Amino acid sequence: MIKVRDSAPYRSGATIVVAIVVAAWLICSGLIAFAQTKNSCLDCHSNLPEPLGVSVETYGQNIHAQKGLTCAACHGGDANSDDPEKAMSRAAGWKGKIERKQIPELCASCHADAERMKKYNPSLRVDQFQQYKTSVHGMKWAKGDNKVAVCTDCHGVHDLRAPSDPRSKVHPINIATTCSRCHADAEYMKPYGIKTDQFANYEQSVHHDAMVVRGDLSAPTCTTCHGNHGATPPGVANVTNVCSNCHVFQAQLFQTSPHKDAFAAMGFPGCVTCHSNHAIKPPTDEMIGTGPKAVCMNCHTAGDAGSMQAEAMHTQLTNLASAIAASDEILSRAERQGMEVSQPKLQQTQARDALLKARVAVHAFRDSGLKQDTDAGLATTKLTYAAGQKAMQEWRFRRVGLGLSLVLIALTLVGLGFYIRNLEQK
Amino acid sequence: MAGPVASVRAWFDERFPLDDLKALAQKKKVPVHHYSYWYFLGGMTLFLFGVQVLTGALLLLYYRPGADEAFESVQFIMTQVQFGWLIRSVHSWSANLLVFMAFAHLFSVLFLRSYRKPRELTWVSGILLLFLMLGFGFSGYLLPWNTLSYFATKVGTEIPAQIPIIGRPVLLFLRGGEDITGSTLTRLYGFHVAILPALATLLIGLHLALIQWFGMSVPPGVEAKWQAFPEDRKEIRFFPNFVLRELMAWYVALGLLGALAALFPWSLGVKADPFASAPAGIKPEWYFLFMFQTLKLIPAKILGMDGEMLGILAFGLIGAVALLLPFLDREKPFKTRRWITGLACVFLGYMAVMTVDGWVAK
Amino acid sequence: MSSAPDTGAAVRSAPANLPRRRFVNILLGTGLLASAASFLYPILRYLVPPKLPDLGGDAVLAARLSEMKPNTAKTFRFGTRPGLLVETAAGEYRAMSATCTHLGCTVQYRPDLREIWCACHNGMYDLNGRNISGPPPRPLEAFEVQVRGDEIFVRRKQEA
């Protein structure tokens, strides 16, 4: 008979194990429940059609949801209750659909509260509402205009994502499209009497090309120049300041140029006068001078002091540009023919740098300002062109040399042939 | 004869057996028959090797081994050194012609049966020389340190690594480490300019000495004909008749090399970047292409064994057969000669097809 | 190949052939000499070192100690691209590529800001080449500086 061991110690041991397991399960599910805050609103509203419907996927992308906030955070009510009567009761603070004009203050109730925002992201700004009140949108809103943009028009509402998310309506790549939803709508903007061609113009610009086509997120979009929450078009006198944040040299030169005072006196908007505000096309050398595409002739008359300077500058630029092109041509010809010209080709970048500098120097609007840069550029192109010529000469030399040595070899072969014949005819 | 020349000759005559040497040289004859033109190939190979030694020595004056200097030094040679482009391009072109000529010489000797007794050791030394030439080609290819050479060497050293047991030690030996680095460059440079030339000198010396000792071989069919009709036997003297003809051939080769170098200078490429990914379609030089392409096309598993390893072992086997060919040409237990011819033709065809396929493949 | 038997016996050519034979000999001699000269000429020219000993490669003489002062910088040619050598206010030398990583303009040192600045779009880098403000997306490639005597050499960072 096998002795059965006393099971008492095992019974108490087993109990302890079971207790630990159950406790762990409770704690874990409690933790999970805490993280997945119950949001009863979504249980019904995810099955409703528009405009009452908000899908689980959409709300899941919302940054507020990801931080643990429920519908009740904005709409009030009780998100824990599954009973619609209790969930959407005034007693529970339910607000229902939020009126447009209430939105800025609703958002500001958290986002302007530094203490509250610190809990989520201490480095977030809390002055958006303050800024908004200084903006054209904000000022009109304060007067009761219901058509102007409020927070949700730009940021989205239920699908509101962080601005750094490329799918966010306020991600740099998408900002211009977001603004254009109103500002390119002629019907919508009729009461305000401002143009609606800004987005169409911006799409032609070099900044749009940099941002949307080349993906350079540092390129300017609407908010870069106009501000985001405090959106106001820069005043005519301030345009140069805005552009100078990136285009430092051009602005500095402009300030020393005769145009500064002249433009101020005539109320011209600085950089925008020649470059336009939204349709900033890639500038060409044809913009300067007295030619058909030259912007100078919009104000200057042919033969006046200004147009003479303009013509001189144009000549300097085109001289350097054609010198660079000539060197490029001869170098690529030499390379196609098998010559090693990698060194002068890379030297050409110095000439291109000089041309770039000269084009910037134009903003001083004196032809003497370009001289240093164009001279440096022409010195470089002289060297690179000479290198190209040398390469072509070398190419010819090699073929002549080859021809000569082949002739001598042929001569020797003929000599050898005859010599052998003579030798063996004995 | 003018006075000074005669007195110089007399000076040498008193010290060295010049007349005996001259008599010995006059004795060497070269048979003349339907296949005599093939006799030029050996000398041509030797000549091209000489061109390599000369141009290689000249390149040594400016080349700097080392991952951070090699490419720049070759660029320097190609762009700044006077006629540097010529010396370098001749060296590269002649290398390719040399390998081609070595293979041509091998196959002509095979088909003309010059490996028969008593010339077995001449054949063996020749095969070893062929391996050395391939080694020269492989080691030299890395020296410019451009993208092509870096990745070709990478792929090329990974292949022997597949051989069981000895594969990994061979990889470490060739690369001087786990990866292709500056150490690989130094190592292959040492092989290319010192170790392989020393071995080649010894083997060439042996090869030439054996040729002098045994004289030129005559193909069996011609030999039989001459046995039957002795009056048909024709020969010319090596000095000066054959030498003059060889000189003509060498001059043609020089002209060809000059034309190739001037019209198709060897490209510099782009400096190797070990961190960049391999460019698409990387392949070794053409003389390794048939092996490379075979290994690419071979199925992953053959009868349960790793396909690539079997491929490498197969090539090893072919190398061994090539080395021992004279001993495999026998009458008993059956006449192997026809088999040798047949297999050689098949292998030659295979090499040609695989090389072309490797070349056109993406 | 011509099948001339080696008779061993010299058959004297008729005197009438002599000038022709001499012509052939002269032709051959000239050909040999001239072609040999055409092979030798490039080799001899090759042996003469070219005027520029500098390989223009990785180790470049950027500046001399005597021409550098604290809190100044010098742009130098590094291969075929520009490089920037900075002597910090503390007397340390830093070298880096001078090609801005935004759109390729040449950067400069700003002694007033003690930072590296790109004039094209106001990009800023710190003295280690890290991009700290403005459009540049990546740091400037840093180089190694070696001071030997009075000479300051710059070379690419060596592979590990």
Among A126-140, C47-61, C95-109, whose mean pLDDT is lowest? C47-61
Which residues does residue C142 pair with via DSSP β-bridges, in sequence order? C96
pLDDT band at residue B38 under the 50/70/90 scheme: very high
Chains in contact with C via at least 3 Cβ–Cβ pairs below 8 Å: A, B
C-alpha to C-alpha distances, A175 to A50, A243, C102, nearest whole angstrom:
26, 19, 22
Check residue A28 and give its pLDDT. 56
Max mean pLDDT among B95-99, B338-342, C128-132 falls in B95-99
Peptide bond just before B144 cis, omega within 30 deg: no
Measured in residues, chain B has a length of 362
Residues of A with CB under 8 A from a CB of C: 216, 218-219, 245-249, 342-343, 346-347, 349-350, 353, 356, 360, 404-405, 408-409, 411-416, 418-422, 424-426
Among A104-118, A137-151, A332-346, whose mean pLDDT is lowest? A332-346
∠ CA(C144), CA(C146), CA(C147), 5° rounding?
150
A263 CB contacts (<8 Å, ≥6 apart)? Answer: A269, A270, A273
Taking the Cβ of residue B252 and every Cβ of chain A, the question of whether any pair is shorter than 8 Å is answered with yes
Residue B265 burial class via C-beta count within 10 angstroms: exposed 0-12, middle 13-18, buried 19 and up = buried
Task: Locate the chain A residue with the closest alpha carbon to B263.
Answer: A399
Task: Locate the chain C residue with the closest alpha carbon to A345.
Answer: C80
- Work out the minimum CA distance from B255 to partner chain A, whole angstroms: 6
B170-205 pLDDT, tens digit each: 999 999 988 898 999 999 999 999 999 999 999 999
Q: Which CATH number fits domain C60-155: 3.30.70.260, 3.30.1200.10, 2.102.10.10, 3.40.1260.10?
A: 2.102.10.10
C11 pLDDT more than 70: no
Domain ranges of chain C: 16-47, 60-155
Residue B3 burial class via C-beta count within 10 angstroms: exposed 0-12, middle 13-18, buried 19 and up = exposed
Cα B280 from Cα B297, distance rounded (Å):
17
Task: Locate the chain C residue with the closest alpha carbon to A343.
Answer: C80
Higher-confidence position of A375 and C149: A375
Cβ of B236 and C42 within 8 Å?
no
Mean pLDDT, range B5-15, rounded to an integer? 88
Residues of B in contact with A391 (CB under 8 A): none
Residue among A255, A248, A315, A261 at smallest CA distance from A285 = A315
In percent, the amount of chain B with pLDDT more than 70 equals: 99
Pairing mode of beta strands C151-155, C60-64: antiparallel
Residues of C in contact with B73 (CB under 8 A): 55, 57
Taking the Cβ of residue B109 and every Cβ of chain C, the question of whether any pair is shorter than 8 Å is answered with no
DSSP summary character for residue B218: -
C10 pLDDT more than 50: no
Cβ of B79 and A406 within 8 Å?
no
Cβ of A347 and C121 within 8 Å?
no
Cα A312 from Cα C72, distance rounded (Å):
36
Cβ of A416 and C31 within 8 Å?
yes
Mean pLDDT, range A46-70, rounded to an integer? 85
3-state helix, strand, coil in chain A (%, to 5): 65, 0, 35
What fold characterizes domain A307-424?
Butyryl-CoA Dehydrogenase, subunit A; domain 3 (1.20.140)
Q: Are the C-beta atoms of A287 and A293 separated by less than 8 Å?
A: yes
Cα B154 from Cα B315, distance rounded (Å):
19
Interface of A with B in 385-414 (CB under 8 A): 398-399, 401-402, 405-406, 409-410, 412-413
A29 pLDDT more than 70: no
Report helix, strand or coil for C152.
Answer: strand
Check residue A350 and give its pLDDT. 84
Cβ of A420 and B262 within 8 Å?
no
Cα B32 from Cα B40, distance rounded (Å):
12
∠ CA(B260), CA(B261), CA(B266), 5° rounding?
105
B207 pLDDT more than 50: yes
Cβ of B236 and C1 within 8 Å?
yes
A40 pLDDT more than 60: yes
Please say whether the dihedral angle defined by the alpha carbons of residues B64, B67, B69 and B74, taken in this order, is positive or negative.
Answer: positive
**Unique residue bearing structure tokens 């000239």:** C30
Report helix, strand or coil for A307.
Answer: helix
Report helix, strand or coil for C13.
Answer: coil
pLDDT band at residue C58 under the 50/70/90 scheme: low
Task: Locate the chain C residue with the closest alpha carbon to B82.
Answer: C46
Count of C-beta atoms within a 10 Å radius of residue B56: 20
Full DSSP string of A212-267: IIT--TTS--HHHHH-STT--PPPGGGHHHHHHTT-HHHHHHHHHSHHHHHHHHHT
Cα A285 from Cα A266, distance rounded (Å):
26
Among A379-383, B3-7, B209-213, C52-56, whose mean pLDDT is lowest? C52-56
pLDDT band at residue B219 under the 50/70/90 scheme: very high
Among B17-31, C48-62, C126-140, whose mean pLDDT is lowest? C48-62
In a mutational test of the B interface, the residue from C32, C38, C40, C46 whose CB has the highest number of chain B CBs within 10 Å is: C46
Residues of B in contact with C1 (CB under 8 A): 32, 36-37, 236, 245
Higher-confidence position of A161 and A236: A161
C-alpha to C-alpha distances, C62 to A135, A272, B17, nearest whole angstrom:
53, 43, 64
Cα A67 from Cα A76, distance rounded (Å):
17
A343 pLDDT more than 90: no
Task: Locate the chain C residue with the closest alpha carbon to A407.
Answer: C35
Domain ranges of chain A: 307-424
Any alpha helices (H) in A36-102, and if so which ranges? 40-45, 56-61, 63-66, 72-75, 84-87
Cα A288 from Cα A307, distance rounded (Å):
9
Mean pLDDT, range C13-22, rounded to an integer? 68
Cα A217 from Cα B22, distance rounded (Å):
85
pLDDT band at residue C56 under the 50/70/90 scheme: very low
- Work out the minimum CA distance from C62 to partner chain B, whole angstroms: 18
Residues of C with CB under 8 A from a CB of A: 2, 4, 10-13, 21, 24-25, 27-32, 34-35, 38-39, 56, 79-82, 102, 104-106, 119-122, 134-135, 137
B117 pLDDT more than 90: no
**Unique residue bearing structure tokens 């047949």:** B342
In a mutational test of the B interface, the residue from A347, A420, A423 whose CB has the highest number of chain B CBs within 10 Å is: A420
pLDDT band at residue A187 under the 50/70/90 scheme: very high
pLDDT band at residue B21 under the 50/70/90 scheme: confident
- Work out the minimum CA distance from C160 to partner chain B, whole angstroms: 10
Amino acid identity of B295? L
Q: Are the C-beta atoms of A333 and A396 separated by less than 8 Å?
A: no
Q: What is the mean pLDDT of chain A?
A: 87
Residue among A350, A413, C96 at smallest CA distance from B250 = A413
Cβ of B83 and C50 within 8 Å?
no
Cα C48 from Cα C56, distance rounded (Å):
19
Residues of C in contact with A407 (CB under 8 A): none
Check residue A12 and give its pLDDT. 67
Check residue B163 and give its pLDDT. 84
C2 pLDDT more than 90: no
Which residues does residue C152 pair with via DSSP β-bridges, in sequence order? C63, C147
Cα A412 from Cα C32, distance rounded (Å):
6
Interface of B with A in 73-92 (CB under 8 A): 75, 78-79, 85
B362 pLDDT more than 80: no
3-state helix, strand, coil in chain C (%, to 5): 20, 30, 45
A34 pLDDT more than 50: no
Query: Which pairs count as long-range contacts for A403-406, CB under 8 Å and 24+ apart, including other chains?
Result: A404/C38, A405/B255, A405/B258, A405/C35, A405/C38, A405/C39, A406/B255, A406/B258, A406/B259
Question: Radius of gyration (Cα) for chain B, nearest Å?
Answer: 23
A301 pLDDT more than 50: yes
Cα C62 from Cα C98, distance rounded (Å):
13
Taking the Cβ of residue C45 and every Cβ of chain B, the question of whether any pair is shorter than 8 Å is answered with yes
Cα A224 from Cα A230, distance rounded (Å):
11
Task: Indicate the residue of A216, A342, A405 with minimum beta-carbon distance to C135.
Answer: A216
**pTM of the entire predicted model:** 0.73
Check residue C3 and give its pLDDT. 47
Residues of C in contact with A404 (CB under 8 A): 38
In a mutational test of the C interface, the residue from A249, A405, A406 whose CB has the highest number of chain C CBs within 10 Å is: A405
Taking the Cβ of residue A368 and every Cβ of chain B, the question of whether any pair is shorter than 8 Å is answered with no
- Work out the minimum CA distance from B64 to partner chain C, whole angstroms: 10
Residues of B in contact with A337 (CB under 8 A): none
Residues of C in contact with A247 (CB under 8 A): 121-122
pLDDT band at residue B139 under the 50/70/90 scheme: very high
Q: What is the mean pLDDT of chain B?
A: 91
Cα A278 from Cα A197, distance rounded (Å):
9
- Work out the minimum CA distance from A120 to partner chain C, whole angstroms: 26
Report helix, strand or coil for C133.
Answer: strand
Mean pLDDT, range C5-12, rounded to an integer? 48
Check residue A23 and give its pLDDT. 67
Check residue A1 and give its pLDDT. 47
Mean pLDDT, range A14-19, rounded to an integer? 73
Cβ of C38 and A405 within 8 Å?
yes
Cβ of C57 and B72 within 8 Å?
yes
> What tokens does B259 get?
């034309």
Cα A244 from Cα C68, distance rounded (Å):
32
B297-351 pLDDT, tens digit each: 888 888 888 888 888 889 999 999 999 999 988 887 788 888 899 999 999 999 9
Residues of B in contact with C45 (CB under 8 A): 82-83
∠ CA(B287), CA(B288), CA(B293), 5° rounding?
120
What fold characterizes domain B35-216+237-273?
Cytochrome Bc1 Complex; Chain C (1.20.810)
Cβ of B78 and A338 within 8 Å?
no
Check residue B133 and give its pLDDT. 97
C1 pLDDT more than 70: no
C118 pLDDT more than 50: yes
Check residue B102 and give its pLDDT. 97
Cβ of B245 and A399 within 8 Å?
no
B84-93 pLDDT, tens digit each: 999 999 999 9
Residues of B in contact with C8 (CB under 8 A): none
Which residues does residue B31 pair with via DSSP β-bridges, in sequence order? B235
Beta strands in chain B (DSSP E): 29-31, 235-237, 301-302, 305-306
Task: Locate the chain C residue with the closest alpha carbon to A353.
Answer: C105
Question: How many inter-chain contacts (A to C, CB under 8 Å) are there?
Answer: 85
Question: How many inter-chain contacts (A to B, CB under 8 Å) are there?
Answer: 50
Task: Indicate the residue of C25, C81, C122 with minimum beta-carbon distance to A346.
Answer: C81
Residues of C in contact with B82 (CB under 8 A): 42, 45-46, 48, 50
∠ CA(B168), CA(B172), CA(B174), 5° rounding?
115
Higher-confidence position of B27 and A10: B27
